[in-house]
A = this chain, B = another copy of it.
Amino acid sequence: MNRRSAKSEGMPKGGSAPRLDHVGVAVADVAAALRLYRDLLGLELVGTDEVPEQGIRTHHLKLGEAELELLEPTDPEGPIGKFLAKRGPGIHHVAFRVADLDATAKRLAAAGCTPLGEPSRGAQGKRILFFHPATTGGVLLEICEVR
């Protein structure tokens, strides 16, 4: 195993590294998903939230310091409803918690990553911003900031 230190190109001095905030999973059957993650695997359900603007209900399960976010569509025309119709249930996105969303967004955009709109309020009141997977190696990448 090779070990080398991280480079810090473009990173602000003193900027703390992101940590994993959550993994978002699109679910077609919430009861089955809760049976798997909560009842069989033993994850604690710490809350549910409604995000009407996105047409979703979210279920948050504690997974160490991160969370598993189950994404249940409340509107078939919302992004999760469409994802399910097109691709079926499964892992939808990964979210990094950053210290400064605006600075991080600017750095990513300058490097060619395309933000999907402007920062908004997501589940749990976090400020969030997604980047288009075509510009991030196929990963629907969310950055979020908790203030």
Contacts and interface: CB of A to CB of B under 8 A. Distances in A.
Interface in A1-40: 1-11, 15, 17-20, 23, 25-29, 32-33, 35-36, 38-40
A139 interface: yes
Q: For this complex, into which size category does the number of interface residues on chain A fall?
A: 35 or more
Contact of A138 (B19, B65, B68, B90): B90
Copies in the complex: 2
Given A36-B113, A63-B96, A137-B89, A18 B45 contact: no
Given A36-B137, A89-B137, A42 B18 contact: yes
A142 B6 CA distance: 27
A91 interface: yes
